[in-house]
Amino acid sequence: MDPEAARTARESLDLAFHMSNILDTGLDRHTLSVLIALCDLGLNPESLAAVVKELRTESQPFSATPTSTAAPSSLS
């Protein structure tokens, strides 16, 4: 890649990362770069977004089920 193309690619990633931060996507620079590269290869952006959402859902701890630390109360 020639220096001018590399500079343009870096500037484009900088802009995309800035927009990502404004939209509060939570994507880091590397992940965003990989997703852009996958789109450049022809993958469907909406499908990629669905995969990212699914992976985030699966990686969250199971905090949906509350655990009680209080002792059971007696009924007497």
1 pLDDT exceeds 90?
no
The number of angstroms, rounded, from the C-alpha of 33 to the middle of its chain's C-alpha atoms is 11
In a domain, 76, yes or no: no
In a domain, 50, yes or no: yes
Residue 17 · residue 29 · CB < 8 Å: yes
In a domain, 64, yes or no: no
The Cα angle at residue 72 between residues 67 and 74, in degrees rounded to 5 = 165
| Residues spanned by the domain of 28 | 3-59
Tell me the C-alpha to C-alpha distance, in Å, between residue 40 and each of 11, 23, 27, 34. 16, 21, 18, 10
Q: Which pTM value belongs to this model?
A: 0.71
Q: Which three-class secondary structure state does DSSP give residue 74?
A: coil
In a domain, 53, yes or no: yes
Report the domain count for the chain.
1
76 pLDDT exceeds 50?
no
Q: What is the pLDDT of residue 61?
A: 76
Q: Which three-class secondary structure state does DSSP give residue 30?
A: helix
